[in-house]
Amino acid sequence: LDFAVALKIGEEIAKEKFCKFKDQKEAIDAGIRIGFAYITVGVVSSPLEGYTHWETKKTQNGEDYMCLYYSGPVRSAGATNGSFSIMIADHIRETLGYARYDPTEDEVKRVISEVFGYHERITNLQYVPTEKELDFIARNIPVQINGLPSEDKEVFNYKDLSRVETNFFRNGVALIYGEGISQKAPKLLGLLNNLR
């Protein structure tokens, strides 16, 4: 259960060290899933259904960046492991030379609005970060956290954004930002510092 092993597994699979994939996108997807599966010790729903897929999107300058999609079953990984899957993806991103995600003001505000709206209108989160915490995290994560629509309710504002495909609530986004990264940031920083 060494987090450094999860990062190395993800990197080596994404680089196709052990087998060839159809394309780089499939290799990266397998790297994220297998690294994630390693740290969840066989909780299969998280790396198979909690992390659903990733896509290449364009920064405002036209460079390729990574956009990760999550859904509700990511909760079964636990907040630390679910959040660490993003660190695996970011390690792969940096290793393979993808650009950092560059959120717009509206995309940052959508995250804040959606997490609070999900907590108030859909179901209570175990941890609700402050607006300041969410703003900081949404501006600084080097990959985009996204998700497919999971509810039949739309967010109140920050709709029709070009790099966010839906106006409906996304449970994966609320769980990763709310119960995941913001709650476990100090622990994740400790894990990262121990990897150096």
109, two tokens: 């505000």
Three-state DSSP class for 125?
coil
Spans of the chain, pLDDT less than 70: 196
Cβ–Cβ under 8 Å, residues 183 and 127:
yes
- pLDDT per position as a tens digit, 78-102: 999 999 999 999 999 999 999 999 9
Give percent of the chain above pLDDT 70.
99
pTM of the model: 0.95
pLDDT value of position 177: 96
pLDDT value of position 196: 67
Cβ–Cβ under 8 Å, residues 10 and 54:
no
pLDDT value of position 195: 84
| Sign of the CA dihedral with 170 first, then 176, 182, and 183 last | positive
Report residue 192 CA to chain centroid gap. 17
Q: At what angle do helices 3-14 and 183-195 cross, to 10 degrees?
A: 80
